[in-house]
Amino acid sequence: MNKTTELPFRAARWLAAVGAAALLAACATGPEYPPAPVAAATPDYTYIIGAGDSVNIVVWRNPEVSMSVAVRPDGKITTPLIDELYAQGKTPTQLARDIEKELAKYVRDPVVTVIVGGFVGPYSEQIRILGEAARPQALSYKQNMTLLDLMIAVGGVTDYADGNKAVLLRTSDGNKTYTVRLKDLIKRGDVSANVDVKPGDILIIPESVF
């Protein structure tokens, strides 16, 4: 290639690179979403049982039918005198009442208490962190959980993350989407960027263009 053709070739290559970068930047910018509300926790939140949880069933004055069992992948449990009973999607109190109904066929006036352990919860209640998190994963929701709690659990973001363009998808609010400022929160220590999260939230952390 001679000098006469080399200069136009370099110019064309440079323009192509600039155009590609501009396109990526436009894609990364995306639509504008409102900032996530700072206060969003549900004061009367009650834990929902999910597959993988363990439930300790205590039947008053009937230790022979009291035991701890795991909630199976199909959401059911099996206990003495009860072949199969759905546990997933119920509160501990609801499950206790259902067990009482089943045991009433064999035990006089059963009084049941259900104590949950494991705390996996159903998929619909779990919070998912996707994209440029150090350890993307699904987390069980805990009352008053915040964005900072999520970042601690996943080890922060990668060096390639565009933290201030992260979005929070709120499935409990009709998939409404909000912006969050992860970079300000974990890199600059701006606690005003910390917000409440809710069961079922999905946090998406994009990769920086540059």
pLDDT in tens, 131-147: 999 999 999 999 999 99
Residues constituting the chain: 210
16 phi and psi, to 5 degrees? -65, -40
- How far, in whole angstroms, is CA 87 from its chain's centroid? 21
Q: Mean pLDDT, the chain, as a whole number?
A: 88
Do residues 132 and 206 touch, judged by C-beta distance below 8 A? yes
- Residue 32 has a pLDDT of 87
pLDDT in tens, 19-33: 334 333 434 555 689
> DSSP character for 39?
-
Cα–Cα distance measured from residue 74 to residue 52, given in angstroms and rounded to the nearest whole number: 10
Q: pLDDT-based confidence at 210, cuts 50/70/90?
A: low
Q: Which residue has the tokens 């929160």?
A: 185
- Residue 16 has a pLDDT of 40
Residue type, 8: P
Helices (DSSP H) in the chain: which residue ranges?
3-29, 92-103, 147-154, 182-186
- Ranking 20-29, 57-66, 151-160, 183-192 by mean pLDDT, the lowest is 20-29
Class of the domain covering 34-44+123-205: alpha beta
pLDDT in tens, 38-50: 999 988 999 999 9
Question: Would you list the domain boundaries of the chain?
Answer: 34-44+123-205, 54-117
pLDDT in tens, 68-77: 999 999 999 9
Class of the domain covering 54-117: alpha beta
Q: Tell me the pTM.
A: 0.81
Cα–Cα distance measured from residue 110 to residue 60, given in angstroms and rounded to the nearest whole number: 7
Residue type, 59: V
Do residues 165 and 207 touch, judged by C-beta distance below 8 A? no
